[in-house]
Amino acid sequence: MSTMHEVARRAGVSLKTVSRVVNGEAAVSEATRQKVTAAIAELDFRPNSVARKLRTGRIDLIGLALPQLSQPYFSALAEAVMREAERHGLTVLIELTGGDPEAELATAREHGPHLGGLLMYPVGLSDEQARSVARFVPTVLMSERAYDAPVDRVAMANREGARALVAHMASLGYTRIAALGADHSGRPEHTAAHLRLAGYQDGLREAGLDCPPELVQEVSTADWNRHAGAAGMRRLIDTGASFDAVVAFSDVLALGALRTLQEAGLRVPADVAVAGFDNIDDARYSYPTLTSVEPGIAQIAREALALLNNRMNDAAAAENRLIVADFELTARESTLGGMAAWGGA
């Protein structure tokens, strides 16, 4: 088994520099960090977590609490976090909460004493519960909601991304743009569904377009899947409302909507343009390929782990740090067209 001394020799740096990289400390240049990371990979170096615990007082096991893994976004986020954690020499324990605030709190209460830190995607967590979580374990939340608690956050640009999708469609001449995935079921206002609906409405206003309520289809966030997307699109068609584009609040909803539109004999995008959110891998292979917003999953994982490392080193820090990940809109055939506007001549 390789040692830290061998990694230092391979990378051409000091032993202390290797230790800093392994422990996720910030005082290392990116170029040096990359050299050390490459040497670790080449030598298949595995930090001795027991020795490090005795030396630093840190526990190298962190928790990742997610509502579910069945949605592609959460499975992609989990993979990104695990890859980034490995770079820091950390092991990840994944807990599923179902979006239940009591389960979110229980994750911290039951596992906190055995964890060095916790990353959580909260759904129903209150300020008081967030403060309790932070007392159990150093915590970073992946959330758009600001909490009155000593926790750092990495946020997704939900509202901005949805606004960009509407602006993209409006720039192509679409004027009756529907929304698929609104959720007014009592969840907090800072959930993805609420923020993406707000961004959709922002985009319509900025484009000078109407926002008729009949073009907004409700789908519970817990049911954001292909089946619900197909059913929601069927309901929209059955209302008889006129629409020429659809912004789905997740890619899986959009993929279900594509199926229903094609079954109804509507061409995409010649008759109806479709866009999604999350830029999952299936978006590049759907028929037609799907315009979507990439919410910066790799950046979210990277920034969350960096914040958590800092929090683990200084659990008493009171500052609530916030990082908003960059997003990127990728326009594909479902709005731009191609192959004679998919679905027939």
For residue range 2-15, list pLDDT tens digits in order: 677 788 888 998 87
Q: Which of 100, 9, 3, 82 shows the shortest CA–CA distance to 45? A: 3
138 plus 121 within the same structural domain:
yes
Residue 147 tokens, joined: 């909490």
**Cβ-contact 40, 19 below 8 angstroms:** no
User: One-letter amino acid identity for 312?
Assistant: M
| Residue 55 pLDDT | 47
Q: What is the pLDDT of residue 50?
A: 42
Do 37 and 87 belong together in one domain? no
Confidence check: pLDDT of 122 > 60:
yes
Co-location of 261 and 148 in the same domain? no
The residue type found at 205 is R
Q: Is residue 166 part of a domain?
A: yes
Length of the chain: 345
Tell me: do 150 and 186 sit in the same domain: no
Domain shared by 290 and 176, yes or no: yes
- Asked whether the beta carbons of 236 and 217 are under 8 A apart, the reply is yes
- Asked whether residue 320 is assigned to any structural domain, the reply reads no
User: Is the residue at 322 inside a domain?
Assistant: no
Total count of domains within the chain? 3
- When mean pLDDT is compared across 59-63, 195-199, 229-233, the lowest value belongs to 59-63
Cβ density class 150-176: b for 16+ within 10 Å, e for less = bbbbbbbbbbbbbbbbbbbbbebebee
Domain membership of residue 276 (yes or no) is: yes
Quick one: 238 and 306 in the same domain? Answer: no
Say whether pLDDT at 86 is over 50. Answer: yes
Task: Note down the domain range covering 268.
Answer: 158-294+329-336
Secondary structure of residue 163 in the 3-state scheme: helix
258-315 tens-digit pLDDT: 999 999 999 999 999 999 999 999 999 999 999 999 999 999 999 999 999 888 887 5
Pairing of strands 291-294, 328-330: antiparallel
What CATH number did the domain enclosing 121 receive?
A: 3.40.50.2300
Residue 339 predicted with pLDDT over 70? no
Exposure string over 195-233, b if 16+ CB within 10 A, otherwise e: bbbebbbbbbeebebeeeeebbbebebbebbbebbbbbb
pLDDT above 60: residue 110: yes
CA 4 from chain centre, in angstroms, equals 34
Residues 29, 63, single domain; the answer is no
Within this chain, do residues 281 and 230 fall inside the same structural domain, yes or no? yes
CA–CA–CA angle 173, 178, 182 (5° rounding): 145
Domain match, 90 and 111 both: yes
Beta strands (DSSP E) in the chain are 61-66, 91-96, 117-120, 139-141, 152-155, 177-182, 216-218, 245-248, 273-277, 291-294, 322-324, 328-330
Whole-number mean pLDDT of the chain? 87
Residue 16: band (very low, low, confident or very high) from pLDDT cuts 50, 70, 90:
confident
Q: Nearest to residue 333, comparing CAs of 281, 288, 277?
A: 288
